[in-house]
Structure 1
Amino acid sequence: MVGQQPEHIYSTQNGFPHSAHPYGAQYARPDGPLLLQDVHLIESLAHFDRERIPERVVHAKGGGCRFEFELTDSLSDITFAAPYQKPGYKCPGTVRFSTVGGESGSPDTARDPRGTSWKMYTDWGVHDYVFNNTPVFFIRDGNQFPHFIHTQKRYPQSHLGQGDDSSMFWDYLTQNPESIHQIVYMFGPRGTPASWGEMSSYSGHTFKFYNKEGDMTYVQFHILPEKGFQCLSGAEAAQLGGSSPDYHHGKLYRQLERGEKPRYNCFVQTMTPKQAEEFRYSVNDLTKVWPKKQFPLRKYGTITLTENVENYFEEIEQIAFSPSNTCIPGIGPSNDSVLQARLFSYPDTQRHRLGANYQQLPINRPRNAGCPFATMFSTSTKTPANECPHIATNFQRDGPGCLYNKGKEPNYISNLPSATLKFKNLTDDKTTNKYKGVALQGEESASVKKQEFERERHERIVNGKINEYFIKTGVSELDVEQPRALYEKVFSDADRKELISNVVGHASNIHVPEIKTRVSQYFGLVNKDLGKAIAEGLGIKWEPLDLQRYADAVGHVRL
């Protein structure tokens, strides 16, 4: 009938119907051997052997859903980034929530930071937020990330995890005291959130916003749930980890099935270059927060979770995020070395996991390159590619899994008649052929001088706050100020008791006695009573040390 969808028919991968029983196979005779000519059998077995793709190195355990972003307040005074100009602009997206260290089958209520990655299918391209549910992180040196993650995984000899022996976990942390802010945060109430739909997410990293006049502003993002950040106790999280390892995943799935739509408000903190020069800490330090009294939150949007995905593997397992997609025109990365490392590492791990053309997979494809999912969502924001401001194209071609090869367009800057490619100005919508032809040295010199002058003095001052020439940044008393304030001024008495209980429970699995002593001294750097309480909980002698004596005891690095 006209307008009626055809029936779904069981078929082989080439599209033709397969009319025999799908579980059956061709035999040479009854009770005889199978026949190699059975194309359906070979196809079924061969595909099954290749169903799994490499597990994510971090953030392996997770789930997600679809959402809608709406810009409520313009940020045009601080950025020319297209999605942040006109209040009322909406776009669809997909979010993935995850733990950091655990494998795909691990409990999602485990004490751990949570990844909260948001992919927005804007009219101008894909825009990612690759955030965590904590505003700080364990490290601030980019090259430290893989080695840190090694200590959060299984022990190389025994293949045992933290639940059996947490020596490796605490050995690393106590040798790197800049981690203490994240640890106080993580072993407090927020280390075990109650729900993905009621959980904050933060950029942690500092980004740079540029407006049309070329002025730069430092920015950090905060995505905060309207109902507040709800948490489980350590005991509740542990119980659910055993009885319902997919608790968070299932809870969100059922919420959306019931029509509930968790909602978040989106904010930025802003800092001028002059404020950055006078700031007590480096704007590039991922282990620090910006005080909200000094740098208040500024609302710019809302995010509403709208519906479950149609297929988990296609839309969640194959989705690929990167902070390089945060850095769209009008937004740039700061000199935070962890962010700089992630700009390479995140796309690179997806090339390994999903293939060189992972961004052509439907879930990762920009809307202006024909993303099919952006037009399937239940939201009203379903702009097809031909209604976007431009069609995305570039010179990347071929390779395994190529789905979108840009047709007849030449794969270089071409003056051939078949070339249709144009170039857009950075801060307005004009398009030109300005990069076609010969580039003269005079043009290069003028461009460099134009960009250099205003940035030079500020970049020198800000960069001077970090020992960039060292292999490893050093620790000072500044590194315990914010975790001390968190413990002494933000945490309630109940929160402090919970922190002590959580640390003692986890560190009790340490099999090396001297590391237990070191753990109590590590927390003693934040607050001596805290260190003493942990020592008592671990049944060891309390031996307080200041930072210098602590470094001497643990081992004093010579850079």
Structure 2
Amino acid sequence: MTSEERTAKDRRLDDYRVDPQDTVLTTDQGIRIDDTDNSLSAGERGPTLMEDFHFREKLTHFDHERIPERVVHARGAGAYGYYQAYDNSLADTTTAGFLIDPGIKTPVFVRFSTVAGSRGSADTVRDVRGFAVKFYTEQGNHDLVGNNFPVFFIQDGIKFPDFVHAVKPEPDNEIPQASSAHDTLWDFVQLQPETTHMMMWLMSDRAIPRSYRMMQGFGVHTFRLVNAEGRGTFVKFHWKPKLGTHSLVWDEAQKIAGRDPDFNRRDLWEAIEAGDFPEWELGLQLVPESDEFAFDFDLLDATKIIPEEIVPVRPVGRLILNRNPDNFFAETEQVAFHLGNVVPGIDFTNDPLLQARLFSYLDTQLIRLGGPNFPQIPVNRPIAEVRNNQRDGYHQMTIHRGQASYHPNSLGGGFPALADRDRYVHHQERVDGDKIRKRSESFGDHYRQATLFWNSMSEWERKHIVAAFRFELGKVRHNHIREGVVRNLNNVDHELAVLIASGIGVAPPEAPSVPNHGQSSPALSQAGSAKDSVLTRRIALLAADGVDADAITRLYGELVGAGATLDVLSTQGGTVRGGDGEHIPVTHPLPTTSSVVYDAVLVPGGEGGVQLLAEDGAAMHFMAEAYKHGKALGVLGSAMALLDIARIGSASDYPGDGGVSVEQGVVLGDTVSDDFVQEFIAAVTAHRHPERVIRHIPA
């Protein structure tokens, strides 16, 4: 990043950055130290002396290094970047400068996370993903704290402790970690029908994203934009990834958790380091306040979406992440998001879940980060000037001057004074009613949108949802819980309930509880997501001594030139020898990696290399597993004989006329022709080929 590209936030952080190179080791008090390997002792074999202040300080700091991890969203990864508005004419809708001025590049910090697991859990578990954005705007910090699902499990925040207790490891044995496949979660679900819509999303492939870079984000709640005249407009926030929305498959996700539990975190870090900066487009669904009651659901219900076919998503700007943190703890771990951090032009609604989160987020940071001064931690500091009379407390970093620490005052000249422009003004609305514990009847339909989601899925997405329910409920030990879930799902779709019941050993419902309304929303399906690039896709090339080296050279040039990454994998490290004696560097030995961390597989010809691969069970498993997971395979020349050995096809499928054969993402050819390269790129771009028959694959 050039000095011209560095944001105001970057420059502010410079005062806190420490570069250990070419400096001398000191204590926290700046005292230089010449030995940090040996404690001060009474003789070489005598007791350690407590007057060794360096020893005491070093051990004391180490003993207190850990802070409470987040109750939810404990495992995460973050990055810096910027948001820039399009020329979108939102000035009549909001006074939030960062949303309306295309000339402003607003610095951001974004943190992605899983929800249920601890900091030590794996990235690829079936779970909701957090998508939280801190905008360092000139009007103050604005936090948009969302998820990769547009809906939530519950409607009222008073249930949040119950839900989290249910999804967390069970209290008697602390099992299972980072998993929803257990009795307490599904007991809560079967007794709380409002969870049904969210559970449909959780059982879909949305819960196992391919990467954070290929994951949508949503603000979940209905917020309010406010213009200069005080007129409000309801708004839903959407983040759409430039690379499209893509997912893993469940078998693959479980295997990645063992092979590389940091899969998503590593992917984000490496993409930014390589200059492949992740990008999302911000879109808004805008609803005039006059249309608040124009829908067959309640806008304030966080378990509901506004279908895009009813209110289209309006693109308004882009988010780009271009810098990794310098220190995970200081930045990613200590960043503190709060839904109450809003800037002029953005306000809240009476969504009961949103109202609860406004309390909970701030309350959580007070204990997690040690007191009320956590906004002074560098990653949380706004670029806007901070002036107030809030003093003292743990970790106060500001040295306040003057005699007066109150308002109004005369001893300090009346400063800090109240703002008379660009100030935050709450949207005015009339609120009255009896003090009651009762939810609006407009929140009462828990199944209609769950049915909408099911109706919107492609055939392969439906199969994955059924398989996910069967897996999760198959882990549930109490039969009455499984029966209760099936009863709820019969209100969503009778066929869905029957398919799940037949796989988990409970009696299927005899008839639908309600007829399926037949409505769908194509925007909910990943089948139509962007599939127009191989940018950043990881491709494995299997090779052994005797491989066609010329084919590797050509493939490398073509695929890397298109933006993909090509790794040469072999039965051992070092190099492989081409058929003409060339030596080709091996990126990874096969025993150290797996097909599940790649997006596609290439196998070039060369008689000697093909024979060695045919005799290697790991290589054959690699091909079979990639095929089973729907990934693109490119096979050249004599390597087509491996299709039969791996039980994923037959060399006889290739017509043998020097052309290219393509079938369900398997691309066959004699040589690396232009046609072969283009067909293989197209197969990779498609992300998956779920139409394959894979039950017979022993992988």
TM-score normalised by length of structure 2: 0.67
* Aligned partner (choices 377, 395, 419) of residue 389 of structure 2: 395
- 2:510 and 2:58 mapped to 1: Cα distance? 64
Q: How does 1:164-175 map to 2 (within 5 A)?
A: 166-175=182-191
Shift of 1:292: 1.4
Q: Does residue 136 of the first structure (1) align with residue 151 of the second (2)?
A: yes
Shift of 1:84: 2.4
* Aligned partner (choices 420, 424, 438) of residue 419 of structure 2: 424
Q: Deviations over 1:113-135 (max 9, x none)?
A: 10011111112211111010000
Q: CA 1:538–1:299 in structure 2 vs 1: closer, same or farther (change >3 Å)?
A: same
Instruction: Indicate the residue corresponding to 1:480 in structure 2.
Output: 447
Instruction: Indicate the residue corresponding to 2:405 in structure 1.
Output: 411
* Aligned partner (choices 484, 494, 500) of residue 534 of structure 1: 500
Instruction: Indicate the residue corresponding to 2:203 in structure 1.
Output: 187
Contact kept in structure 2, 1:141 and 1:473, CA below 8 Å: no
Shift of 1:77: 0.8
Structure 2's unaligned 5+ residue stretches are 1-18, 515-699
- 2:245 and 2:414 mapped to 1: Cα distance? 52
- SS of the residue corresponding to residue 407 of structure 1 reads coil
Q: How does 1:177-326 map to 2 (within 5 A)?
A: 177-325=193-341
Q: How does 1:153-168 map to 2 (within 5 A)?
A: 153-161=168-176, 166-168=182-184
Q: CA 1:497–1:48 in structure 2 vs 1: closer, same or farther (change >3 Å)?
A: same
TM-score normalised by length of structure 1: 0.84
Instruction: Indicate the residue corresponding to 2:611 in structure 1.
Output: none
* Aligned partner (choices 38, 48, 53) of residue 24 of structure 1: 38
Contact kept in structure 2, 1:122 and 1:367, CA below 8 Å: yes
Instruction: Indicate the residue corresponding to 1:65 in structure 2.
Output: 79
Shift of 1:164: 9.7
Instruction: Indicate the residue corresponding to 1:440 in structure 2.
Output: none
Q: CA RMSD in A?
A: 2.4
Shift of 1:212: 0.9
Contact kept in structure 1, 2:148 and 2:217, CA below 8 Å: yes
Contact kept in structure 2, 1:226 and 1:263, CA below 8 Å: yes
Instruction: Indicate the residue corresponding to 2:469 in structure 1.
Output: 503
- 1:533 and 1:221 mapped to 2: Cα distance? 35
- 2:388 and 2:326 mapped to 1: Cα distance? 30
Instruction: Indicate the residue corresponding to 1:46 in structure 2.
Output: 60
- 1:80 and 1:133 mapped to 2: Cα distance? 27
Q: Does residue 86 of the first structure (1) align with residue 80 of the second (2)?
A: no
- 1:37 and 1:343 mapped to 2: Cα distance? 48
Shift of 1:547: 6.4
Identity among equivalent pairs (%): 34
Larger Rg: 2
Shift of 1:410: 2.8
* Aligned partner (choices 459, 468, 477) of residue 493 of structure 1: 459
Q: Deviations over 1:386-431 (max 9, x none)?
A: xxxxx321121001100124432732221224443222235579xx
Q: CA 1:245–1:57 in structure 2 vs 1: closer, same or farther (change >3 Å)?
A: same
Q: In terms of mean alpha carbon deviation, does 495-504 or 5-14 score higher?
A: 5-14
- 2:261 and 2:439 mapped to 1: Cα distance? 38
- 2:458 and 2:511 mapped to 1: Cα distance? 26
Contact kept in structure 2, 1:177 and 1:475, CA below 8 Å: no
- 1:509 and 1:164 mapped to 2: Cα distance? 10
Contact kept in structure 1, 2:80 and 2:325, CA below 8 Å: yes
Instruction: Indicate the residue corresponding to 2:23 in structure 1.
Output: 8
Shift of 1:277: 2.3
Contact kept in structure 2, 1:226 and 1:264, CA below 8 Å: yes
Instruction: Indicate the residue corresponding to 1:127 in structure 2.
Output: 142
- 2:423 and 2:396 mapped to 1: Cα distance? 32
- 1:37 and 1:537 mapped to 2: Cα distance? 68
Q: CA 1:475–1:211 in structure 2 vs 1: closer, same or farther (change >3 Å)?
A: closer
Shift of 1:87: 1.8
Structure 2 counterpart of 1:396, one-letter code: Q
Q: Deviations over 1:361-396 (max 9, x none)?
A: 11111112xxxxxxxxxxxxxxxxxxxxxx321121
Q: CA 1:198–1:164 in structure 2 vs 1: closer, same or farther (change >3 Å)?
A: closer
Shift of 1:83: 2.1
Shift of 1:137: 0.5
Q: CA 1:315–1:187 in structure 2 vs 1: closer, same or farther (change >3 Å)?
A: same
- 2:435 and 2:322 mapped to 1: Cα distance? 44
- SS of the residue corresponding to residue 305 of structure 1 reads strand
Structure 2 counterpart of 1:64, one-letter code: G
Contact kept in structure 2, 1:178 and 1:475, CA below 8 Å: no
Structure 1 counterpart of 2:445, one-letter code: L
Q: CA 1:155–1:417 in structure 2 vs 1: closer, same or farther (change >3 Å)?
A: closer
Contact kept in structure 2, 1:397 and 1:405, CA below 8 Å: no
- SS of the residue corresponding to residue 56 of structure 1 reads coil
Structure 1's unaligned 5+ residue stretches are 369-390, 430-446, 549-559
Contact kept in structure 2, 1:409 and 1:421, CA below 8 Å: no
Q: CA 1:332–1:477 in structure 2 vs 1: closer, same or farther (change >3 Å)?
A: closer
Give structure 1 regions of 4+ aligned residues with deviation exceeding 6 angstroms.
Answer: 473-477, 545-548
Contact kept in structure 2, 1:133 and 1:202, CA below 8 Å: yes
Contact kept in structure 2, 1:212 and 1:427, CA below 8 Å: no
Contact kept in structure 2, 1:69 and 1:303, CA below 8 Å: yes
Contact kept in structure 1, 2:139 and 2:344, CA below 8 Å: no
* Aligned partner (choices 62, 84, 92) of residue 77 of structure 1: 92
Structure 1 counterpart of 2:358, one-letter code: L
Q: Deviations over 1:143-165 (max 9, x none)?
A: 01111100011112222226596
Q: CA 1:396–1:547 in structure 2 vs 1: closer, same or farther (change >3 Å)?
A: farther
- 1:347 and 1:164 mapped to 2: Cα distance? 27
Shift of 1:471: 5.0
Q: In terms of mean alpha carbon deviation, does 247-256 or 290-299 score higher?
A: 290-299
- 2:112 and 2:180 mapped to 1: Cα distance? 26
- 1:296 and 1:405 mapped to 2: Cα distance? 50
- 1:419 and 1:105 mapped to 2: Cα distance? 51
- SS of the residue corresponding to residue 271 of structure 2 reads helix
- 2:443 and 2:373 mapped to 1: Cα distance? 44
Contact kept in structure 1, 2:241 and 2:281, CA below 8 Å: yes
Q: CA 1:476–1:217 in structure 2 vs 1: closer, same or farther (change >3 Å)?
A: closer
Q: CA 1:477–1:277 in structure 2 vs 1: closer, same or farther (change >3 Å)?
A: closer
- 2:354 and 2:461 mapped to 1: Cα distance? 31
Q: In terms of mean alpha carbon deviation, does 117-126 or 130-139 score higher?
A: 117-126
- 1:507 and 1:235 mapped to 2: Cα distance? 16
Contact kept in structure 2, 1:393 and 1:406, CA below 8 Å: no
- 2:422 and 2:180 mapped to 1: Cα distance? 55
Contact kept in structure 2, 1:398 and 1:405, CA below 8 Å: no
- 1:476 and 1:68 mapped to 2: Cα distance? 37
- 2:80 and 2:479 mapped to 1: Cα distance? 48
Shift of 1:30: 1.4
Contact kept in structure 1, 2:180 and 2:472, CA below 8 Å: no
- 2:344 and 2:406 mapped to 1: Cα distance? 22
Structure 2 counterpart of 1:400, one-letter code: Y
Structure 1 counterpart of 2:416, one-letter code: L
Q: 1 or 2 for the larger relative contact order (CA 8 Å, sep ≥6)?
A: 1
